[in-house]
Amino acid sequence: MPPITDLALDLPTTDDLAAVAGALLGRFGVAWPDGGENEARTPITGGALGSTRGATAADVDAAVERANTAFRAWRLTPPPRRGELVRQLGALLREHKDDLAELVTLEAGKIPGEAQGEVQEMIDMCDLAVGLSRQLYGLTLASERPEHRMTEVWQPLGACAVITSFNFPVAVWAWNTSVALVCGDPVIWKPSEKTVLTALACQALVERAAAATGAPAGLSQVVVGGPEVGKALVDHPGVALVSATGSTAMGRAVAPRVAGRFGRCLLELGGNNAAIVAPSADLDLAVRGIVFAAAGTAGQRCTTLRRLIVHESRHDEVVSRLAGAYRTLRVGNPRDTGVLVGPLIDRRAYEGFARALAEVAAGGGQVVTGGQRDPALAEQAPEAFYVRPALASMAEQSELVLRETFAPLLYVLRYGDWDEAMALHNAARHGLSSSIFTNDLREAERFLSPGGSDCGIANVNIGPSGAEIGGAFGGEKETGGGREAGSDAWRAYMRRQTCTVNFGRDLPLAQGVEFL
C-alpha cells in the first residue's frame, strides 16, 4: 500500500494559519475575533485560529427585532432596487473571491479548487437573483364573474433564519440570502460553529453592499453559537421561515417545533446517494465521475456518492479500476499544490468513518482499498484527521450501507437486472441525489421516469454531486423536501396572495349564489 501522500508530510503550525486568517479577515474589514467561548478551529492542524463570543437568547431576540424593523421598510422597496443590493454583493464577492476561498480552505479544509468553486457558486447565485428581481411572476386568472379581474401575486414573507453546515460554509448562505433579499426578506444567519470566520467575512461584504445602496440596517445579521442559538431561532415567533441545512436528526428536531408555531421550514438534510453502472456504461467516463463524487471534499458533501450499484458483468472491472484510481489520490494539507483530498473536519467525523470501516466485514463486505489515517501527519497534528478514501465491496445492502457515513467511504454492490438495481437504489431512507452511467437510451429514460429514481436530483452520465445553481436543489424522504437555489425555489421565501378586483357596478357572487 502506498503512503497516504507522496507530498511533503510537514504541516504548517496553527499559529502560522492563524496569522493568515487574521490577515485575510483584515481585508474584509473584520476585527480578529478573540476572547469568546466558541473556538474557530482549522481541520488542517486541528488547532484554534481564534474564538468568538456566542449569542445569548437576548441577542437572538434583538436580532429578530432588528430584522423585522428592516422588513417593514424592505418589503416596500421595489424588487429591482432590492436586486441592486445583491448585484453590489456579487461585485464584492468577485473582488474578494481569492481571499474568501482561502478562508474556506482554512476553516473547512477544502482544496483551493473546490473552495474557489464554492465562492463562484455564490457569485452565480447573486447573478441569478439579480435577474430574478425583475421576474417574480404571478398569474392572471379567469374570473367566473363579469367585470372582475383575478390575479395571483407573491408578497414578501418576513424574517428568515438560515442555519448552515460546515461543509459548504458560504454557498448555502448565498443560495438563501441572495434570493431572500430580492424577495423582500431579511436574513439572520447562524453559521456552523466550525466555520464562523467565513460567516463574519460574508457579513462584512453584505453590510458594505447595503450601505452602498441605502438599504435598511438589519437586513443581514450573523448570530454565532451552538444548538441553543439555533433552537432560539427555530422557536421564535418573529421568524417566518427557518431554512436549515444539516443532519436528518437535526431536521426531525426542527420541523415539529416550527410547525407547532405555524412557521415555515425549508429543510436540506442528509443524503445516501447512489450511482448505477449499467452494462453499456463508458467506464472511462464513469470512473472519473465516480472518484470525484465519492472522494471530493473528503466525502463531506450531502451529495457525495456513497453507494455504487454495478451490473454483475462489469463489477470486477469497475472495482479494479476504482481501486487503482483511489491509490493515486493525493491526500494531505489542502493548501499544498497537487493535493486532491484534504482532512476530515474533526475527530467525531473520523470516529464515524473508523466505526463504519470496522463494520464492513460484519456486513458481509471487504475493504478493497483505503481507510488508513496517516501516522506521520497524526503525530504532527493529533487533532487533524487525514484519511485515504475507502472502497468497500459489499455482498448485500445491509443496514450499514443504508446508514449515511459523512466521510469518504464508497460501498460497491452488484445487480443482475433492472428491477434489482432500482430496488437497491431506492431502498435508501434519503432521497437527495442519484445518477446512472449508461449508453442505453431506454435505461436512461427509465431512470428519469416516475418508476425510476426517487430522488430530488437525477443525473445521467455524471455523478450525483456538483449540482448547478439554475436548478432547484433538494431531495425527498429523509432529505427533507426543501428546495433552494434556482428554478422556482424563490417561492419558499414569499407568500402567495390571490387578488380579485370588481370594476363593475354589480356585486355578483361566485358559484351563482344569490343573497340580497
Contact 334, 112 (CB under 8 A): yes
For 222, list phi and psi in degrees, rounded to 5. -120, 130
Contact 308, 412 (CB under 8 A): yes
How far is the C-alpha of 218 from the C-alpha of 511, rounded, in Å?
Answer: 46
- CA distances, 404 to each of 280, 393, 471 (Å): 29, 16, 24
For 467, list phi and psi in degrees, rounded to 5. -65, 145
Which residue in the list 126, 160, 302, 455 is annotated as catalytic?
302
H-state helical runs in 335-405: 347-359, 375-380
Residue 28 is inside which H or E element, if any?
none
Other beta carbons within 10 Å of 52: 21
Strand partners, 392: 367, 411
Q: Is 476 a catalytic residue?
A: no
Contact 233, 60 (CB under 8 A): yes
H-state helical runs in 133-282: 171-183, 196-213, 227-235, 248-260
Q: Which residues contact 343 (CB under 8 A, 6 or more apart)?
A: 43, 44, 109, 298, 334, 384, 385, 386
Which residue in the list 84, 102, 193, 268 is annotated as catalytic?
268
Task: Check residue 219 and report its DSSP letter.
Answer: S
Q: Which residues contact 235 (CB under 8 A, 6 or more apart)?
A: 257, 261
Other beta carbons within 10 Å of 51: 16
Other beta carbons within 10 Å of 270: 25
Q: Which residues contact 16 (CB under 8 A, 6 or more apart)?
A: none
Q: Is 183 a catalytic residue?
A: no
Report which of 285, 255, 318, 369 is spatially closest to residue 4, judged by C-alpha positions: 369
Query: What is the signed CA dihedral for 446, 448, 453, 455, rounded to 10 degrees?
Result: 180
Contact 258, 265 (CB under 8 A): yes
Catalytic residue positions? 268, 302
